[in-house]
């Protein structure tokens, strides 16, 4: 063994800072030789001869070390001198690797001093920070560099060229085998380990996690297709298509990369034919892939604005909707003649088309028009009818009607079935024909917006409806249910021939699950399907019972499962023998390996009964070692407090808060869906009256029940409507030490008219309330009119191009609070809309949150102050 004596010092800017020493490394060696025709006098050639994939590089003791060919040797834990094997006679040169994981809770600049008897290069988190290739006067290779050590765990990697000894190297100083680090100040701590387990202090770590989505299953239940995605080195999401053969429990086909892939669909009458779409600058292409022949065929090229595809069982006819591009005016001004002229999702240019898959001949089914917008469509089981809907503006609530039409492809005729007054936000979608062809199921608001209503319902609470296609009569199949059904154009409702039931995806409390209901039963009752994880994000059914689904939990990111029942039980047993036992079988978990290395948070349900006797559901996330620690913890409270509940899906953000030393309390105040109509209806014209009261009451009860929480170090934040609630809380209580409002509403009146969907969301949150008739809502419940009551330090953050909640909502609150001499900070992100698109800004937004709360809840202002000094 050859002893390589290596010193690495990270020196502070402040002399009084502590010095920490590392004497444990992971080391590995691989033999190498000069590349052909290389300049053997340049040692950089050897140092750069191998390329390490740092995005996946996570060495572990006793695992095989990487080489460009086959793995050679393993990572060994070395204490003291870093020891590498001596180069052999047959391979006189080698590369020595040394790795240590450096962890800090604060980050900052450090000075690196390194020395080694051989040339070397140093990387920190995959970025080269220094190299030494020329010896100094004392014969050593050394360097000095100042680098920024980021918060969290960094991988420090040293690569050195090993050459045969010709003479011993003598030092007059102590053995240079230690890594010493000193931080800029004494505020934080640094630790070292050779254990690769991750902590998630860095917000950009969300890019470590892969995703699986859009599962579809072939009619016979044999093949399963899905979309896989992950972030690349440039932080851009890359997607690809994957098809599984469930009989063989193996991948049958992979298409990678697949830019803009979507609309996965197995052709009903051809079990081995898969349709899908990809998108690019010239529009979308429609493709077919045969699992029997392996042939891939482009069915249609460059469809502008493609939305949805559906295929017939008999003839090879495909139907699709697309938003056509209309000629744009070259004027610098625009006439807004109708409210819809402002709505970016008013689909007046959408049309329905047919396409022969075999010969590529297509035809237009509907034209576009200024007075209506085409929505969704569905093919009947015998392919003899196509139901489609279109929206038309109307005077008065709910501002739009939805027309149901049936089109007959054989006669090219259509007739209107019915017109329903339904709010814009939860209009009829997710159409599914029942097998007899005389009824169709759809998802819509649980209540129709009749003008003679005496009770203002929360119209985001949805239900499953049935329409008779002969009479146009409708019935609410799930009226009064606690759950609220998901709805979108991808269709979350399926018919099961196995049990003659409609299967659908619904939110119930903090969970999202699969339910089924027999519409022909005398008293239809919905039953929930048991799944291993509480939040199902998507599912699909084969003709006779095989269910593919993606699901996650608070501690487990999304994975792909298959559940088999009834007539396909035999296949279920084959799957179970190959992949596990039970009805639900894990097909694959794209993050299983990563999660083995993650020190995740513990979750604890924490509910309370509010002063009205209503149970408010919530959850605590905290460090798994919290019960053994004798300390108090700062608390972060998070909510939306609008119509959408916080739920039990995997949320990286909660894990990130815990990794940064916080306990997180997430709750669902009254007003959101998933807890029944009465609970949801409390949102109508509430605007903080009940929701904010629940948050304050819940936090007070939580602090009284959990002595490990520090009542003086509590912060809260929310976004969009949750940002409004944050501002509302600021005017009502001094319970919090700091608050943050992300893209929040401060003036209900300016949002009502200025927000792109202000009046359509107002039909839900402001029913029958307008600035001219409800001063008690528009003025008294707007935080801007109570700015003088705010005493809590407040952070405002907003995208400068936000059309949903315009920046004026944060602008005017900032101006008011500055004029009042309050503690307020306002960060505006150039070019960003309501949902940030730029990766760097998504990361910075939450880093700012952490720095804000660190400053006010931990008395650690260095990161916040340091950001603005640059």
Alpha-carbon span 115 to 117, nearest angstrom: 7
Grade residue 73 by pLDDT with cuts at 50, 70 and 90: confident
pLDDT at 673 over 60: yes
Residues making up the chain, counted from first to last: 870
pLDDT at 1 over 50: no
Residue-by-residue DSSP string for 208-277? G--EEEEEEE-TTS-EEEEEEEEE-TTS-EEEEEEEEETTTTEEEEEE---TT-EEEEE-TT-TTEEEEE
Interval 546-561: pLDDT, tens: 999 999 999 999 999 9
Q: How many CA atoms lie within 13 A of 45 on its CB side?
A: 12
Reduced DSSP (H G I as helix, E B as strand, rest coil) percent helix, strand, coil of the chain, to 5: 15, 40, 45
Say what angle helices 839-857 and 862-869 make with each other, to 10 degrees.
130
Grade residue 311 by pLDDT with cuts at 50, 70 and 90: confident
Grade residue 113 by pLDDT with cuts at 50, 70 and 90: confident
pLDDT at 518 over 60: yes
pLDDT at 460 over 60: yes
Residues 397-428 as b or e (16 or more Cβ within 10 Å = b): bbbbbbbbbbbebeeeebeebbebbbbbbbbb
Question: Which region among 622-636, 707-721, 788-802 has the lowest average model confidence (pLDDT)?
Answer: 622-636
Question: Which region among 251-255, 313-317, 640-644, 730-734 has the lowest average model confidence (pLDDT)?
Answer: 313-317
Interval 151-208: pLDDT, tens: 899 999 988 887 655 433 332 333 333 333 443 444 456 788 999 998 899 999 999 9
Grade residue 241 by pLDDT with cuts at 50, 70 and 90: very high
The total of other beta-carbon atoms located within 10 Å of residue 38's CB is: 13
The SS3 of residue 590 is: coil
pLDDT at 280 over 60: yes
| Degrees, nearest 5: CA angle 647-650-654 | 85
Phi-psi region for residue 472, left (φ > 0), alpha (ψ -120 to 50) or beta? left
Its CATH class, for the domain covering 600-869, is alpha beta
Instruction: Name the residue with tokens 């034919």.
Output: 273
Residue-by-residue DSSP string for 514-555? EEEE-TTSSS---EEPP-SSSEEEEEEE-TTS-EEEEEEETT
Query: pLDDT at position 190, please?
Result: 76
Instruction: Name the residue with tokens 């939450």.
Output: 846
Q: How large is the C-alpha radius of gyration of the chain?
A: 31
Q: Point out which residues pair with 240 in neighbouring strands.
A: 228
* Across 716-728, average pLDDT: 98
Instruction: Give the residue with greater pLDDT, 256 vs 784.
Output: 784
- The pair phi, psi for residue 577, each rounded to 5°, is -65, -30
Alpha-carbon span 29 to 74, nearest angstrom: 8
Domain ranges, ordered by start, for the chain = 2-196, 307-327+345-450+458-477, 600-869
Instruction: Give the residue with greater pLDDT, 127 vs 186.
Output: 127
Interval 469-482: pLDDT, tens: 999 999 999 999 99
Burial of 16 (0-12, 13-18, 19+ CB in 10 A): exposed
Alpha-carbon span 411 to 519, nearest angstrom: 30
pLDDT at 227 over 60: yes
SS in 3 state form for 696-712? HHHHHHHHHHCCCEEEE
* Domain 307-327+345-450+458-477 part of CATH 3.40.640.10: no
Query: pLDDT at position 115, please?
Result: 75
pLDDT at 791 over 90: yes
Instruction: Give the residue with greater pLDDT, 840 vs 371.
Output: 840
Query: pLDDT at position 583, please?
Result: 77
Grade residue 69 by pLDDT with cuts at 50, 70 and 90: low
Grade residue 351 by pLDDT with cuts at 50, 70 and 90: very high
Interval 257-270: pLDDT, tens: 889 999 999 988 76
| 781 alpha-carbon distance from chain centroid | 32
Alpha-carbon span 727 to 705, nearest angstrom: 26
Q: Are 708 and 630 in contact, with CB atoms under 8 Å apart?
A: no
- The pair phi, psi for residue 759, each rounded to 5°, is -80, -30
Alpha-carbon span 304 to 500, nearest angstrom: 38
Instruction: Give the residue with greater pLDDT, 865 vs 113.
Output: 865
Q: Are 242 and 254 in contact, with CB atoms under 8 Å apart?
A: yes
Grade residue 43 by pLDDT with cuts at 50, 70 and 90: confident
DSSP 59: -
* Across 287-301, average pLDDT: 92
Residues 6+ apart with CB under 8 A from 552: 533, 535, 537, 558, 559, 649, 650
Query: pLDDT at position 576, please?
Result: 52
Q: How far is CA 178 from CA 78, 82, 779, 858, in A?
A: 11, 9, 66, 33
SS in 3 state form for 444-460? EECCCCCCCCCCCCCCC
- The pair phi, psi for residue 307, each rounded to 5°, is -110, -55
* Across 803-808, average pLDDT: 97
Work out the percent of the chain whose per-residue pLDDT is above 90: 63
Query: pLDDT at position 93, please?
Result: 74
DSSP 616: E
Q: Are 276 and 285 in contact, with CB atoms under 8 Å apart?
A: no
Interval 388-404: pLDDT, tens: 999 999 988 899 999 99
Indicate the pairing of strand 633-638 with strand 709-719.
parallel
Indicate the pairing of strand 493-496 with strand 527-528.
unpaired
Work out the percent of the chain whose per-residue pLDDT is above 70: 89
- pLDDT, averaged across the chain: 88
Interval 593-631: pLDDT, tens: 999 999 899 999 999 999 999 999 999 999 988 878 888
| 321 alpha-carbon distance from chain centroid | 27
Instruction: Give the residue with greater pLDDT, 839 vs 346.
Output: 839
Query: pLDDT at position 137, please?
Result: 84
Q: Measured between alpha carbons, how far apart are the two ends of the chain, in Å?
A: 47
């Amino acid at each position: 063994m050859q002893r390589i004596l290596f010193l690495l010092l990270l020196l502070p800017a402040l002399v009084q800072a502590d010095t920490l020493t590392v004497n444990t490394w992971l080391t590995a060696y691989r033999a190498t030789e000069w590349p052909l025709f290389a300049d053997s006098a340049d040692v950089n050639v050897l140092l750069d001869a191998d390329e390490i994939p740092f995005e996946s590089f996570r060495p572990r003791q006793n695992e095989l070390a990487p080489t460009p060919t086959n793995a050679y040797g393993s990572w060994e834990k070395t204490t003291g001198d870093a020891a590498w094997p001596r180069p052999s006679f047959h391979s006189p040169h080698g590369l020595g690797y040394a790795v240590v994981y450096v962890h800090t809770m604060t980050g900052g600049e450090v000075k690196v001093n390194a020395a080694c008897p051989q040339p070397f290069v140093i990387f920190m988190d995959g970025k080269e920070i220094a190299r030494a290739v020329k010896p100094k006067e004392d014969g050593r290779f050394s360097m000095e560099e100042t680098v920024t050590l980021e918060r969290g765990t960094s991988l420090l990697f040293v690569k050195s060229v090993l050459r045969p000894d010709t003479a011993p190297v003598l030092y007059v100083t102590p053995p240079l085998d230690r890594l010493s680090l000193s931080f800029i100040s004494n505020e934080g701590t640094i630790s070292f380990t050779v254990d690769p387990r991750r902590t998630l202090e860095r917000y950009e770590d969300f890019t470590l996690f892969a995703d699986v989505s859009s599962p579809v299953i072939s009619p016979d239940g044999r093949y399963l297709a899905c979309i896989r995605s992950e972030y690349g080195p440039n932080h851009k999401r890359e997607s690809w298509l994957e098809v599984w053969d469930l009989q063989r429990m193996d991948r049958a086909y992979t298409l990678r990369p697949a830019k803009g892939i979507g609309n996965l669909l197995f052709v009903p009458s051809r079990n081995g034919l898969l349709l899908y779409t990809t998108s690019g600058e010239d529009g979308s292409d429609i493709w077919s892939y045969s699992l029997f022949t392996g042939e891939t065929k482009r069915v249609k090229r460059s469809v502008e604005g493609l939305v949805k595809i559906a295929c017939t069982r008999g003839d090879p006819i495909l139907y699709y909707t697309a938003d056509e591009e209309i000629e744009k005016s070259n004027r610098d001004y625009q006439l807004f003649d109708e409210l819809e002229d402002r709505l970016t999702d008013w689909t007046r240019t959408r049309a329905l088309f047919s396409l022969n898959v075999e010969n590529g001949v297509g035809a237009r089914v509907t034209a576009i028009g200024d007075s209506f917008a085409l929505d969704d469509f569905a093919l009947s089981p015998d392919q003899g009818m196509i139901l489609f809907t279109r929206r038309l503006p109307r005077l008065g609530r709910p501002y739009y009607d939805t027309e149901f039409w049936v089109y007959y492809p054989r006669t090219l005729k259509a007739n209107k079935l019915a017109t329903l007054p339904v709010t814009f936000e939860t209009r009829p979608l997710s159409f599914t024909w029942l097998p007899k062809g005389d009824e169709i199921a759809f998802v819509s608001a649980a209540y129709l917006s009749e003008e003679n209503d005496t009770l203002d319902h929360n119209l985001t609470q949805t239900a499953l409806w049935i329409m008779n296609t002969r009479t146009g009569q409708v019935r609410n199949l799930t009226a009064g249910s606690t759950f609220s059904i998901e709805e979108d154009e991808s269709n979350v409702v399926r018919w099961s021939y196995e049990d003659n039931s409609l299967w659908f995806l619904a939110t119930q409390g903090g969970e999202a699950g699969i339910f089924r209901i027999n519409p022909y039963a005398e008293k239809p009752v919905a039953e929930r399907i048991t799944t291993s994880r509480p939040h199902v994000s998507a599912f699909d059914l084969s003709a006779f019972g095989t269910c593919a689904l993606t699901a996650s939990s608070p501690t487990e990111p999304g994975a792909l499962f298959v559940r088999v029942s009834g007539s396909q039980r035999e296949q279920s047993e084959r799957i179970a023998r190959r992949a596990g036992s039970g009805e639900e079988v894990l097909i694959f978990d794209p993050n299983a390996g990563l999660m083995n290395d993650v020190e995740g948070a513990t979750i604890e349900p924490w509910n309370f009964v509010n002063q009205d006797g209503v149970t408010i559901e919530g959850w605590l996330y905290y460090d798994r070692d919290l019960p053994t620690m004798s300390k108090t913890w700062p608390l972060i409270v998070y909510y939306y407090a609008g119509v959408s509940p916080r739920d039990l899906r995997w949320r990286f953000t909660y894990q990130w808060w815990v990794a940064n030393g916080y306990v997180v309390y997430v709750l669902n105040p009254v007003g959101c869906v998933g807890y029944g109509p009465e609970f949801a209806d409390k949102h109508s014209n509430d605007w903080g009256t009940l929701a904010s009261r629940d948050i304050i009451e819940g936090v007070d009860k939580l602090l009284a029940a959990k002595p490990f929480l520090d009542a003086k170090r509590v912060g809260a934040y929310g976004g969009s409507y949750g940002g409004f609630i944050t501002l509302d809380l600021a005017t009502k209580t001094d319970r919090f030490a700091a608050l943050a409002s992300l893209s929040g509403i401060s003036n209900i009146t300016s949002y009502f008219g200025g927000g792109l969907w202000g009046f359509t969301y107002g039909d839900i949150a402001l029913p029958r309330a307008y600035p001219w008739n409800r001063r008690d809502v528009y003025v008294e419940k707007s935080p801007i009119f109570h700015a003088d009551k705010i005493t809590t330090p407040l952070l405002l953050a907003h995208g400068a191009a936000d059309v949903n909640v315009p920046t004026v909502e944060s602008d005017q609150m900032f101006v008011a609070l500055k004029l009042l001499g309050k503690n307020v900070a306002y960060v505006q992100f150039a070019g960003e809309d309501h949902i940030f698109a730029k990766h760097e800004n998504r990361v910075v937004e939450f880093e700012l949150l952490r720095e804000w709360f660190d400053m006010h809840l931990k008395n650690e202002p260095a990161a916040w102050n340091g950001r603005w000094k640059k």
